[in-house]
Structure 1
Amino acid sequence: MSDAFACVKQYVFRTCKDEQICVHAGDVRHCEIMYHPTYERLLNKAIMLDGEPKPTRLWESMVAMGRLHDMRGDDTWRMIVLDCVMSSLQGWSLRISRDLYVDLSDVRSDMFEAGLATWTETVRGIAPRLVPAIMRKTAIRAAYQGATVQTRETAFERPEDFLDEEDHPEMPGPKASSLIHGANIRDPAVVEQLRGERNGALFHKNNCMDAVSRFHEEIRAGRRPDITARAAKAPMLARSNLFGPSHYYYISDFLPPFIGMPAAAEALGIPESAAYHMVRRGTFPCPPTRMGRSLRVPVRPLMHYMEIPDVIVHPDDVENGAAHASGLARRIRDPRRV
């Protein structure tokens, strides 16, 4: 029977395969850095020669990726961090098992449970670059304690068993009620239409409808299948008989996936210096990722923190809302027009 270390490694390698791993943005398509290693090379670079994780920028980015994916309900990067930390404990686990006459699988289970608990406990108030070293020390201490009192915890067989889903709930769905102020509309189709028109009016107000129109052209031409497939599966779509039902998309799909720290600080209403101070202390609301020498903040978690609904809209509704707002604006400028 495989021990916990082996199960996690198999899970990560099966998930990552031989694909390029982006530790900066999580997706090579959105990253400004050209070099992206395979997971095996990333693992070798993270562990260092002496087997101890150092507080480097690489570890800082890896932990930030883990925190961001936890918010989305995706355990991939959490498991990557845990595998890298556990890989640095191979020698320690063998030593404890040999010196204290404890089954190796029990030692490694204790280590993994302690590392996973530490990951959860350090989600707030601990700088990302310090988390791996804390996980490592806690795992070693827990293994010694478990061996001393002769506890025998059964080793897990599936990586899914390591994960406590209740500790990492998925983001809540779109809040349509927040977009319809003072109305008591019960027809889902009407709510859906109003949602798109309101966002179209907002796009027009911010003078970005040209970019939105180009985005809609790509969707209608089928050049954005990854975006439309994600939205079209949502159960809250009310108008399946609408022409082009596969053209739905999330508002965040149109926005850039990352913004700089100055823009994020402005959106949060805090000074830029305070934002960098919060990052160093590990208290910034959305863990930023590092691209080269600069920090970037992911937009979707930032929207979630600011309670901005990432709603699903249809291009027709958005364009109708923008056209209505445009016509209203012209009438206000020229009172003679009816």
Structure 2
Amino acid sequence: MTLNRLLAATALTAATLFGTSAQAATAPQPAVSHHYVDVQGVKIFYREAGDPSKPTVLLMHGFPTSSFMYRELIPKLADRYHVVAPDMPGFGFSDSPDRSQYAYTFDNLAKTMDGFTEALSLKRYAIEVFDYGAPVGWRMASAHPERITAIISQNGNAYEEGLSSGWNPIRGYWNEPTQANRDALRDMLTLQSIKWQYTHGVKDPDRVAPEAYTLDAALVARPGNDEIQLDLFKDYANNVKRYPEFQAYFRKHQPPLLAVWGKNDPFFLPPGAEAFKRDIAKAQVYFYDTGHFALETHVEEIGEQIHRFLDANVAQKH
């Protein structure tokens, strides 16, 4: 073989082996757009990326954050999926109706989020849940199991053993819903406390972007939002009461489930992630050496794991 032919063959082999990954590495990430939609008189803000003809992934945020928590994950999934991330009422850039006009319960949040999916004509979707997004998502899945293609839980709990002692002050309010016990929880709404939620259990807190907890604290500090959050603290007791119902949904329908868990979470313990395996035979559970807001420090690793899971369980069925 001549030198020119050898070089040409080598180049062709390299292109075959590495061309696809090299192109993927340099390909621009899908653009994220920002929208509002009216749902039963409540203006809901949402982020969206990817081709709407592709399988949909619905990202549900938790307390005290918003769809902003998914800002880095959305484009990572949108290369092959239609990704939608709403802000629930009282959070982020969605409306915060007056408490006299809108009941801040998890039942009502789930009703609004169901209405959101219907307003966008999302007939089937994989759902990622985090923190408060979990009990909202469990309600949505239990009510409409035919809509759910798969579940990703990032520190989204459904089991008693997943609740840490960090819930004790809130449990005290459940047991004795006095004004004194309600007021005792206000410290959880301060910038210092919200920052702690982001940084506790994180090996390198400098990796946590300050705009995340600063934005959360600023939105929680809006007039009247503290009372909204305290209402939800109180109503969380109803989520725990419904855990057996949610677990029955898992057992009956066996949705593909991936748990990606910050193992140092001060609120939701690793046994809560392992417990999924009791009810879903093929549940996949992975732990990461980080805290509650695991995407702040491990979005690359978790994003890759989610992508593999969706590729195996959702893309092939579309």
Do they fold alike, i.e. is TM over 0.5? Answer: no
Instruction: Give the TM-score normalised by the residue count of structure 1.
Output: 0.26
Larger Rg: 1
Instruction: Give the TM-score normalised by the residue count of structure 2.
Output: 0.27
- Bigger fraction of residues in helix: 1
